[in-house]
Amino acid sequence: MLGIQVADLDQKKPLVINLLFDLQATNMDMIDANLTTFSPQQYSIGPLPRYVLLSLTLLVGLPGIFLNALTVYIKTKYSKQYGSPTYVFMVQRAVADILVLTCICIGTAIFIIFPYLPTQCRILQDIFAFALNIGWHPGCNFLCFIVYSRYVALCDND
């Protein structure tokens, strides 16, 4: 399969070069074979399940984005004790949820409406993935800090 033969050892070219050329030829043959037989319509789903998924995603995501934005506005505008950890936690979680819901809701909607967009515009997929990770990881870390602070508070009382 790789084209390594005993006769290759006797030639002037190093074995590594022969191996690389044979691997490239094998990969190119596989790519050519895949491109000639692949049809995107074989793997796509019908329009009805896509639009049901789109409507469910938007039905959950858009109110979530709006209500989290409203929470951020109320907690920052009308809170007199903004310096307490509870309010900082609530605002931070709401901002993280806005990021995550935007990526899941808007990103999923865009990719459902335009199913071939992830392969055509890779940077858009990378932007949504980056923002999704920016929303999830700080939220998880902040929850771990809250759990640790509660543990310390409980242990200090004993």
Mean pLDDT of 44-60: 80
The verdict on 88 and 148 lying in the same domain is yes
- Give a three-class secondary structure readout of 29-68: HHHHHHHHHCCHHHCCCCHHHHHHHHHHHHHHHHHHHHHH
Does the pLDDT at position 59 exceed 80? yes
CA–CA gap between residue 47 and residue 6 (Å, rounded): 56
Position 90 scores a pLDDT of 80
16: domain range? 6-38
CA–CA gap between residue 144 and residue 151 (Å, rounded): 11
Position 38 scores a pLDDT of 42
Position 24 scores a pLDDT of 46
Question: Is residue 89 a part of any domain in this protein?
Answer: yes
The verdict on 87 and 126 lying in the same domain is yes
The verdict on 33 and 52 lying in the same domain is no
The verdict on 81 and 33 lying in the same domain is no
Position 137 scores a pLDDT of 74
- Give pTM, 2 decimals: 0.55
The verdict on 102 and 149 lying in the same domain is yes
Mean pLDDT of 71-90: 77
The verdict on 30 and 98 lying in the same domain is no
The verdict on 29 and 86 lying in the same domain is no
The verdict on 103 and 142 lying in the same domain is yes
Does the pLDDT at position 154 exceed 90? no
The verdict on 17 and 72 lying in the same domain is no
